[in-house]
Structure 1
Amino acid sequence: MRSAHVVSVVRTAEQALMSRLPEGALMRRAATGLAVHCSRMLPRVYGSRVTLLVGGGDNGGDALFAGADLAARGAFVRAVLAGSRTHPGGLAALRAAGGRVVGGGDAAFPESLGVPLPEEVETALFDTDLVVDGLLGIGGRGGLREPFAALASLASNSPAPVLAVDLPSGVDADTGEVAGHAVRADATVTFGTYKPGLFVDPGAERAGRVHLVDIGLAPELPGADLVCPQAVDVARLLPSPAAEDDKYRRGVLAVRAGSDQYRGAAVLCVGGALRTGVGMVRYGGGEDVLAQVIARWPETVGLNLDPLNSTDLGPGRVSAAVVGSGRGTGPANAGELRAVLESECPVLLDADALTLLAGSASLAELVRRRTAHTLLTPHAGELSRLLPDADRAEIEARRLEHATRAASLYGATVLLKGSTTVIAHPGAPAAVNPTGTPLLATAGSGDVLSGAAGALLASGLPAWEAAMCAAYLHGRAAELARDGAPISASDLVEALPLAAVEVRHAATEVSFPGA
């Protein structure tokens, strides 16, 4: 599990560690790790051209010391000093190693708007083998001012790869928010611990591949503010059938999805559940929808429910229920949702169920009073209806904040779908899913996810773990389905077992290294 911490926690931990180390030791550790990753991004060190964008903070110092290391090994290193001050030790080390400053000598160039960048600065950014972004550190907030904004734009358009120091300049370390210009990096080297903004869009999309450099901070850090699961973490959570298990012990999932208008939602939701692994699916719906589900998935136990009176969860034991995908928002659907929420089993609410929830104070109160696990799976538009005074654009800009707020408001687990899938649960660290592809933006993919998460709920996983595992498998299935070619939701259903096999194999490799 990759753990991330907010800036205030990182600062406290750094101060505690620095109090026991010689002055400058922590920066030297960071700079050494940064230089190693710079070397890996260069065709070779000797004779390569490296351009440093240097701000006035500590990460500017990190960049200067790393540049000095590269210059001492034969690289041609140029530093663009952009802050109102420059780390004196780092600058001295760079000069001593043969590096040079461009664009204004020892003084930074003016920060006033409209002042053009010196020509040699633009040349340094386009006639180079690597750009190192050390403009702003993790304390940066708000949009970039000049000349930082202009340098960020030039760096992002440079033909050379860009390596960001700690996080791309212009990205909020705690939230991933980008307010204006920001550097778009090919890779980011971060120190001590991951920062939430490296995993949450729009910041994550600008971070590229993220590398963690160990500077000895771990013993000073408390529990994570955000986690990003890896394959082995998912594998350890996935239920594995035991020899004595029967279909009931493996979990029975009630699915209330689909309607005459949206029959495919039922087929895809049931398929997602079956392919993720569940003992039984009990589907309830109208005659025509039920017939289509049984035709595609004959192992389904079907219940013909009158669409105007569909409050029965069905005979026999039910371990969890999924309701809402393509179901409808009429009075009968509201009655069905109420009956499901009044049950004692874990429940997943998606799509139309979320619309009904947003429009009913009594249904919202039912969710808050539930003692069984409740999982809400909105996209940004649906979440804007669940949250007062939040529009879709605001949610997409600050996904972590709004998912966490919704989890607190409803007392439920919230899986916010989108370019970054965020899972929030009251009292737990937020989780961010690392898998997936823009190809998931296709009709029906959310129905498959609901079925997969419902299956894991039915198997006994708590909502936070079920959501995290389902999102990981769903995203990985999209990556595996057609080797990067366009996919449909039906492709996702068939690729879910491939994703499950892959993560279990990852766990085996960790348990038996070298086997």
Structure 2
Amino acid sequence: MHGVWKPDQVRAAEQRLFRTVPEPAVMRRAANGMALWVRRLLTERLGRVAGRRVALLVGAGNNGGDALWAGALLRDRGVGVTAVLLAPDKTHPEGLRALRAAGGRVVEAADAAVDSGLAEVAAEELRRADVVVDGIVGLAAHGPLRPLAAAAVERVSAPVVSVDLPSGVDPVTGAVDGPAVSATLTVTFGGRKPCHVLGAGLVRSGGVVVVDIGLDPHLDEPDCSVPEAGDVGRAWPVPHPADDKYSQGVLGVAAGSANFPGAAMLAAGGAVHTASGMVRYAGPAADAVRQRWPEVVAVGSVGDAGRVRAWSVGPGIGTGSAGREVLAAALDDGKPVVADADAITLFADDETLWDARDPDVPLVLTPHEGEFARLAGQRPADRVAAVREVARRCSAVVLLKGNTTVIADPDGRVLVHPCEHAWPATAGSGDVLTGMIGKLLATGMDPLWACGSAAHVHARAAEIAATGGRAPVDPPETAGDLESVGAPIGASALLDALPAAVREVRAVAATTP
């Protein structure tokens, strides 16, 4: 599991580091890391480093300084380096002197004589480059690229290595509201930032590598964390010799209807493929569920379900009085509840349902963007902050679906699962996830971790189904690498791939510390 730190946390850690290590020395550490990864990219793409061309897009401030210092180190390895200065009067002076002393070339980006404002000599250097280093703005910047920087970025066709973040991406939310860099690789320092895992920034960042510059001892607890395959595999429940079907957890599923049984079958199937034990279905789609899943004990109502350790409730139950009675009955049972789809709408529309639950019993809400807006009152700009607030206010674990799934509990802990593809964005996949989370809760897993583990395996199953199992465990450099080998899937295909995804994360856990 790796942490994600907000920019103000990183700046505070830097100030603590500077008390013991001079800032120029820290900057050179960052530049060493940048130069290393640029060299690796040149070697991987072109076979060698010496004689290649690198252009530096240099803005004001320390990010531009990091790029200039890295350029000086690349010159020492025989690389032709040209710095394109976007703000000549504000360029980092020590970094500029180092590049010039190493034999690097320096040109100014601006030329008032051309419509774009970009000088032709600068455009030509960007066009000829084998790799471009993006040192335009840093973590303090917000908003899209300014016109001159945007014009420069438009001339780039080579792979881009960004310093800390792709310029033009919001560092806190990952949002892109105008021109911005799309990086092949982002080299960041000390730890990942929100822009690397949220919103458009997830894809714009490309591959993300973290360079150690000595910040680790000075960083506070991360703002949120990203579970990795090995973490999920180690926590995934599997039967032990002394277990039986009851000891591994019994889940109740209340979903679907006689006319729309699909939600019931998908939620029940998600539970069946998540963990051993038992699944009980309670609802009007009992006959359809029995036919599809003979291992599921199916009855007509929540009251007839018998003893369970958790409930998955909501998909397809309707938002009228019948659906309300189903949700109220599950809440009244006093067991952990995962509430999805229609159950979330019922919670949002009927304040009395909150009184039907025992506040000491875990509740998990799994909204998509529209459902979350009903709970929060608006669509969130800062997804992490908004989910954390709704979790606190509702005294529930909240899982907000999206290309980055954000999960928060009432204590303020946050997990995120960044997903560079959209294969799970298909009707019914949320029903599968509801069954998965419920079954993990029934095994006794911590609700926050149950959501994080289920989200990880759910997304991985979608990759496996879409690509025929050819998608790598580690994310590709760009989302397009994965999309190029995949085909659209339905929720049933995702469901069928769950066992393969579980086997995979457990195999990773067995081979990693």
Matched residue SS, 1:439? coil
Tell me the amino acid that sits aligned with residue 52 of structure 2. Answer: S
- Conserved 8 A contact 1:111-1:146: no
Match of 2:369 in 1: 380
Query: Does residue 198 in structure 1 map to residue 196 in structure 2?
Result: yes
- Conserved 8 A contact 1:198-1:204: yes
Tell me the amino acid that sits aligned with residue 287 of structure 2. Answer: A
Distance 1:238 1:186 in 2: 33
Distance 1:366 1:131 in 2: 59
Moved more, 168-177 or 322-331: 168-177
Match of 2:473 in 1: none
Distance 1:66 1:112 in 2: 31
Match of 1:3 in 2: 3
Distance 2:373 2:269 in 1: 29
Per-residue deviation, 1:101: 1.2
- Shift of the 34–193 alpha-carbon distance from structure 1 to 2, 3 Å rule, reads same
Match of 1:149 in 2: 150
| Residues matched between the structures, number | 490
- Conserved 8 A contact 1:7-1:174: yes
Distance 1:39 1:473 in 2: 35
Q: 1:64 aligns with which of 42, 57, 68?
A: 68
Distance 1:119 1:347 in 2: 63
Match of 1:185 in 2: 183
Distance 1:340 1:24 in 2: 61
Tell me the amino acid that sits aligned with residue 441 of structure 2. Answer: L
- Conserved 8 A contact 1:437-1:478: no
Per-residue deviation, 1:149: 3.2
- Conserved 8 A contact 2:6-2:194: yes
- TM normalised by structure 2 equals 0.92
Distance 1:358 1:24 in 2: 54
Distance 2:221 2:325 in 1: 42
Match of 1:343 in 2: 333
The 5-angstrom pairing of residues 156-305 of structure 1 reads: 158-286=156-284, 289-305=285-301
Tell me the amino acid that sits aligned with residue 49 of structure 1. Answer: R
Query: Does residue 363 in structure 1 map to residue 348 in structure 2?
Result: no
Tell me the amino acid that sits aligned with residue 257 of structure 1. Answer: A
Q: 2:305 aligns with which of 299, 304, 314?
A: 314
- Conserved 8 A contact 1:187-1:210: yes
Tell me the amino acid that sits aligned with residue 72 of structure 1. Answer: D
Query: Does residue 453 in structure 1 map to residue 437 in structure 2?
Result: yes
Per-residue deviation, 1:365: 4.6
Q: Which residues of structure 1 form unaligned runs of 5+?
A: 306-310
Distance 2:181 2:451 in 1: 32
Matched residue SS, 1:467? helix
Distance 1:507 1:78 in 2: 45
Tell me the amino acid that sits aligned with residue 133 of structure 1. Answer: D
Distance 1:219 1:103 in 2: 39
Distance 1:334 1:385 in 2: 17
- Conserved 8 A contact 1:252-1:282: yes
Matched residue SS, 2:423? helix
Matched residue SS, 1:508? helix
Match of 1:308 in 2: none
Displaced runs of 4 or more, over 6 A: 110-114
Match of 1:120 in 2: 121
Distance 2:3 2:184 in 1: 21
Query: Cα deviation per residue 1:175-207 (whole Å; 9 max; x = unaligned)?
Result: 212232221111100001111221111211210
Match of 1:493 in 2: 495
Query: Does residue 131 in structure 1 map to residue 115 in structure 2?
Result: no
Query: Does residue 403 in structure 1 map to residue 387 in structure 2?
Result: yes
Query: Does residue 12 in structure 1 map to residue 12 in structure 2?
Result: yes
- Shift of the 338–99 alpha-carbon distance from structure 1 to 2, 3 Å rule, reads same
Tell me the amino acid that sits aligned with residue 323 of structure 1. Answer: V
- TM normalised by structure 1 equals 0.91
Identity %: 48
Matched residue SS, 1:433? strand
Tell me the amino acid that sits aligned with residue 88 of structure 1. Answer: P
Q: Which residues of structure 2 form unaligned runs of 5+?
A: 470-485
Match of 1:98 in 2: 103
Distance 1:179 1:224 in 2: 26
Q: 2:55 aligns with which of 48, 51, 58?
A: 51
Matched residue SS, 1:281? strand
- Conserved 8 A contact 1:262-1:327: no
Query: Cα deviation per residue 1:230-285 (whole Å; 9 max; x = unaligned)?
Result: 11111222123221111111011000011123211111111110001141111011
